[in-house]
């Protein structure tokens, strides 16, 4: 067979009728793993090229033969494939779809490119069939990762919060209780530091798997992070009462875990318990309460259990104090905006900057926003803070624009609470008008937590913002419910791949594959990608090689005060 094919090719190559363009085209086709279908409208000529036989076991000689292709794909994809093969919509240069081949095990992406003559009539058409089975599998894996903790197979934190919310809602309707047990392994640091992360991981895994045995219709179990677990119980009683579960956990912990190297290991846990409706009304608050009392259990000798009770709230004082401070703070004295550059990966030119808030404590130390923003979100202070962030960063941006005619994109982080305010858009527009900045230069960074509550309302608001010309960026992708399938149709422009992916993208092959698949799929959806937290040259080079569009991270630039951004702008100003 091969010999015949080769002879054919040689004959075609030698034939004077074959133009050099066509030779080149054929060469490209032959080195591709895709299959191509070429159709010439005027002559009616049809050719199948490259890897055709690895996709289809059929010959296509005339347009009627297209029908045969439909027999090769799964039913739900036939209609779209017909559309792709037959319609020649004017002005549409590229059109693509994804289809499963019969048997459902193999996936292909079909992409049509049509060439038109000067009068706008279709002249030629090429359809490329590309095998994307690998990427599909990764999307499924990503969906799994969105709900589960990879190490233990338990639910992850985000999904647990969601399910706990559902328990609470049901409990409200049926006047039942919901308990949360917050568990933390005692002296885990000692295990991790003393015996290494691998041993630590194994302990976490084995204990997690044991906790998994409590799972049931009324019991959900999750690993939050490191050595922290949480159990949610709907209508706790009998076998699923808090006491019974705690007692049986303690019994199990009397015996050692046996690690793969034969080593035996005994651990103890500190447990905090809080119940709906007494302790709190909402999932996150309930978890917080259980966590606070867990610390109490730890500080009173470890290896025990502590129920939530109101006076323990006093321990909260520290937090409340910070909260109050945030409310009364004179913004312009204690707050300052920093900006972190984002670069185009291809040529390292400046794409824009992300505005990041800094808080100067009384002693002059900078307090990280990851400490105070969550508190400000809880006590409502985030609203005035967010308004200040928008005004201050746009004011500074307008100043750069005047001085350096810069056309940077200004990315601003917007909290869910801030975003949901009815006057959010009107206030934002007022500020932009005041400083004469066009919305198209501003990118609003939102996290998935914005989308969770009311998807439709939030999406509508996003559409309005897009209408005004704002860019919308989905922040921290990969840490929440992130599934590529729900991204489809979201009115966003940009997706930021979370630092947690970038951290292990070089060392961990799984992360590498997933990151590649995210970049690939996100591109297909028409969004830009920004990789966050890029710290090394290796990470940078790798991300560039997989065509991630933009890079942000210490490797190219740390967050900096405005005057340092000006130095960058001076260099690039024309």
Select from 124, 141, 235, 535 the one that contacts ligand C2E (CB under 6 A): 535
Is residue 415 a contact point for Ca ion (CB under 5 A)?
Answer: no
Single out the residue of 111, 202, 445, 528 in contact with Ca ion (rule: CB under 5 A): 445
Window 474-493: residues binding ligand C2E (CB under 6 A) = 475-476
- Count the Cβ atoms, other than its own, within 10 Å of residue 106: 16
Q: In this chain, which of 350, 353, 356, 472 binds ligand C2E, going by CB under 6 A?
A: 356
519 touches ligand C2E (CB under 6 A)? no
Smallest gap from Cβ 532 to Ca ion, in A, equals 5
| Residue 231 lies near ligand C2E (rule: CB under 6 A) | no
Burial class (CB in 10 A: 0-12, 13-18, 19+), 103: exposed
Query: Is 475 an interacting residue with respect to Ca ion (CB under 5 A)?
Result: yes
A 10 A CB-CB count for 99 gives 22
- Considering the complex, what minimum distance in angstroms separates the CB of residue 90 from ligand C2E? 43
Choose one: 97-105, 156-164, 294-302, 440-448; the region binding Ca ion (CB under 5 A).
440-448
Extract the tokens encoding 390: 């928008």
Residues of this chain, 514-573, that bind Ca ion according to CB under 5 A: none
Residue 11-50 contact track with ligand C2E, rule CB under 6 A, x = bound: ----------------------------------------
Least distance in angstroms from the C-beta of 160 to ligand C2E: 21
Burial 500-531 (b: 16+ CB within 10 A, else e): ebbeebeeeeebbbbbbbbbbbbebeebbbbb
Chosen residue from 200, 352, 439, 533 binding ligand C2E by CB under 6 A: 533
Could you tell me the two tokens for 432?
């932009």
Sign of CA dihedral 247, 252, 255, 259: negative
What minimum distance in Å lies between the beta carbon of 540 and ligand C2E?
A: 10
Query: Which of the stretches 100-108, 141-149, 310-318, 354-362 binds ligand C2E when contact is defined by CB under 6 A?
Result: 354-362
**Closest residue by Cα to residue 51 from 32, 73, 79:** 32
The token pair at 433 is 């008008």
Contact between 368 and ligand C2E by CB under 6 A: the answer reads: yes
392 near ligand C2E, judged by CB under 6 A: no
Residue 496's CB is within 10 A of a number of other CB atoms, namely 24
Strand pairing category for 107-116 and 94-100: antiparallel
Total Cβ atoms within 10 A of residue 42 = 10
389 binds ligand C2E, rule: CB under 6 A: yes
Based on the shown chain and the rule CB under 6 A, indicate whether residue 373 belongs to the binding site for ligand C2E. Answer: yes
DSSP 258-301: E-TTS-EE---EEEEEEEETTT-SSHHHHHHHHHHHHHHHHHTT
Residue 357 near ligand C2E by CB under 6 A: yes
Local structure of residue 104 (DSSP, 8 states): S
* Closer residue to Ca ion (CB): 377 or 475: 475
Nearest to 152 by CA among 231, 220, 218, 211: 211
Q: Which range, of 210-218, 260-268, 431-439, 530-538, touches ligand C2E by CB under 6 A?
A: 530-538
Give the residue with the Cβ less far from Ca ion, 231 or 353: 353
**What's the token pair of residue 558?**
């740390």
Stretch that binds ligand C2E, among 80-88, 125-133, 523-531, 552-560 (CB under 6 A): 552-560
| Binding of residue 448 to Ca ion (CB under 5 A) | no
Cβ neighbours for 84, distance < 8 A, ≥ 6 positions apart: 95, 96, 97, 110, 112, 127
Which does residue 208 bind out of Ca ion, ligand C2E, none, counting CB within 5 to 8 angstroms by kind? none
CA-CA-CA-CA torsion sign (455, 456, 457, 458): positive
**419-444 as b/e, with b when 16 or more CB fall inside 10 Å?**
beeeebeeebeebbeeeebebebbbb
Query: x/- site string to ligand C2E, residues 327 to 346, per CB under 6 A?
Result: -------------x------
**For Ca ion, which stretch binds (CB under 5 A), given 196-204, 314-322, 394-402, 445-453?**
445-453
Cα torsion 135, 140, 142, 143: sign: positive
Per CB under 6 A, 443 contacts ligand C2E: no
Contact 458/451 with Cβ under 8 angstroms? Answer: yes
- Residue 109's binding partner among ligand C2E, Ca ion, none (Cβ under 5 to 8 angstroms by kind) is none
Position 51 contacts ligand C2E (CB under 6 A): no
In angstroms, rounded to a whole number, what is the distance separating the alpha carbons of residues 228 and 170?
Answer: 26
Binding site for ligand C2E (CB under 6 A): 340, 355-357, 368-370, 373, 386, 389, 413, 415, 475-476, 532-535, 552-554, 559
């Amino acid at each position: 067979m091969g010999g015949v094919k080769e002879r054919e090719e040689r004959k075609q190559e030698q034939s004077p009728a074959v133009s050099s363009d066509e030779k080149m085209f054929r060469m490209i086709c032959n080195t591709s793993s895709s299959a191509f279908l070429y159709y010439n409208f005027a002559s009616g000529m049809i050719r199948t090229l490259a890897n055709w036989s690895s996709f289809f076991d059929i010959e296509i000689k005339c347009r009627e033969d297209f029908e045969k292709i439909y027999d090769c794909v799964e039913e739900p994809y036939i209609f779209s494939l017909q559309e792709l093969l037959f319609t020649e919509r004017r002005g549409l240069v590229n059109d693509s779809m994804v289809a499963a081949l019969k048997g459902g095990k193999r996936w292909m992406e079909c992409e049509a490119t049509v060439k038109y003559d000067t009068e706008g009539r279709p002249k030629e058409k090429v359809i490329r069939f590309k095998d994307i089975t690998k990427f599909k599998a990764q999307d499924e894996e990503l969906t799994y990762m969105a709900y589960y903790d990879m190490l233990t197979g338990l639910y992850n934190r985000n999904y647990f919060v969601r399910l706990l919310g559902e328990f609470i809602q049901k409990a409200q309707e049926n006047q039942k209780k919901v308990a949360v047990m917050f568990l933390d392994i005692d002296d885990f640091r000692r295990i991790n530091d003393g015996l290494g992360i691998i041993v630590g991981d194994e302990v976490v895994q084995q204990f997690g798997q044991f906790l998994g045995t409590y799972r049931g219709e009324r019991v959900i179990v999750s690993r939050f992070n490191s050595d922290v677990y949480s159990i949610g119980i709907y209508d706790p009683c009998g076998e699923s009462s808090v006491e019974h579960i705690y007692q049986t956990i303690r019994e199990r912990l009397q015996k050692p875990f046996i690690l793969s190297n034969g080593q035996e290991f005994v651990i103890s846990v500190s447990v905090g318990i809080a119940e709906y409706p007494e302790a709190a009304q909402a999932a996150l608050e309930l978890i917080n309460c259980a966590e606070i009392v867990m610390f109490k259990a730890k500080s009173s000798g470890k290896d025990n259990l502590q129920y939530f009770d109101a006076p323990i709230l006093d321990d909260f004082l520290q937090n409340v104090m910070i909260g109050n401070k945030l409310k009364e703070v004179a913004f312009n004295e204690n707050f300052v905006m920093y900006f972190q550059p984002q670069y185009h990966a291809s040529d390292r030119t400046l794409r824009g900057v992300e505005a990041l808030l800094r808080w100067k404590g009384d002693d002059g130390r900078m307090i990280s926003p990851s400490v105070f923003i969550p508190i400000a979100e809880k006590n409502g202070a985030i609203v005035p803070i967010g308004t200040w962030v928008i005004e201050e960063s746009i004011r500074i941006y307008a100043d750069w624009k005047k001085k350096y005619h810069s056309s940077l994109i200004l990315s601003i982080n917007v909290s869910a609470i801030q975003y949901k305010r009815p006057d959010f858009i009107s206030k934002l527009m007022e500020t932009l008008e005041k400083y004469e900045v066009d919305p198209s230069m501003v990118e609003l960074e939102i996290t998935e937590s914005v989308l969770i509550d009311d998807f439709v309302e939030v999406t509508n608001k996003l559409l309005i913002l897009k209408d005004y010309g704002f860019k919308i960026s989905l922040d921290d992708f990969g840490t929440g419910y992130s599934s590529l399938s729900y991204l489809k149709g979201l009115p966003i422009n940009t997706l930021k791949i979370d630092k947690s992916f970038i951290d292990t993208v070089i060392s961990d092959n799984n992360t590498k594959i997933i990151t590649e698949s995210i970049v690939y799929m996100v591109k297909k959806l028409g969004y830009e990608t920004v990789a966050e937290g890029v710290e090394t040259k290796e990470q940078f080079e790798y991300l560039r090689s997989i065509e991630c569009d933009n890079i942000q991270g210490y490797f190219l630039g740390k967050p900096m005060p405005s005057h340092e951004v000006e130095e960058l702008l001076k260099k690039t100003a024309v």
